[in-house]
Amino acid sequence: MSVSYPTPHINAKPEDFAKTVLMPGDPLRAKFIADNYLTDAKLINNVRNIQGYTGYYNGVKVSVMASGMGIPSMGIYSYELYKFFGVENIIRIGSAGSLNKNVKILDIVFAMGVSTDSNYSHNFDLNGTFAPMADYYLLTTAVDIAKNNDLKFHVGNVLSSDMFYNNLPFDNWQKMGVLAVEMETASLYMNAANLGKRALALYTVSDSIVTGETTTSEQRRTVFTDMLKLALDTAVKLDRLETR
């Protein structure tokens, strides 16, 4: 397939990206990671202020680029990265609202599976309901690192919703054991499945639907350091395993 660069949303070339891209929703969080965790970081995309950087973490080439907000936005950026830029692994690093009394503020949640109220799966012309799942290899690698660092985490199903201001209660999702709610992962996991790539989403709990506790936007951008380091360490381990 012949591709001309830039694409409509990414002003870069395939060689500008690492094989693994970390994707926060917030462009300023992407900049924070590049400034504070990567060495020799270079800005490789800034179309629509969706900032993307590539640098090195512990000697391994890693990219970080924002996805924007919502399933459609993540759908655009993850598709272009997978399809046109040679990216093999995307790790979403974001925030989520807890739907479970045992999932506390600043705990880490791994999305093993994703439920959704979105119609995104209709794009794939499936005669049924598709169940988007994390890549097992990525998931187990990240979980092992979390265990070794004594992080408090939960693994399970999350709700990826089209709506932030939702008029419907979450009671029935809670009854079905859904751990948390967020707004991007469904399209990421579906694109990865459709294109034969790997995806994983992990979140720091920023607020609780159960207790009403919350964090500030500044905290969400700068203090979720356990999650950020976990994702970076996963990218490094993945690179070393794949290059043996």
For the chain, give the number of residues. 244
| Cα–Cα distance for residue pair 108/49, rounded to 1 Å | 28
* b/e burial code for range 135-167 (CB count within 10 A of at least 16 → b): beebbebbbebbeeeeeebbbebbbbbeeeeee
Cβ atoms of residues 170 and 98 within 8 Å = no
| Cα–Cα distance for residue pair 72/87, rounded to 1 Å | 19
| Cα–Cα distance for residue pair 111/155, rounded to 1 Å | 6
| Cα–Cα distance for residue pair 141/130, rounded to 1 Å | 25
What is the C-alpha R_g of the chain? 17
125 is catalytic: no
**Annotated catalytic residue: which of 16, 26, 135, 207?**
207
Instruction: Write out the catalytic residue numbers.
Output: 207
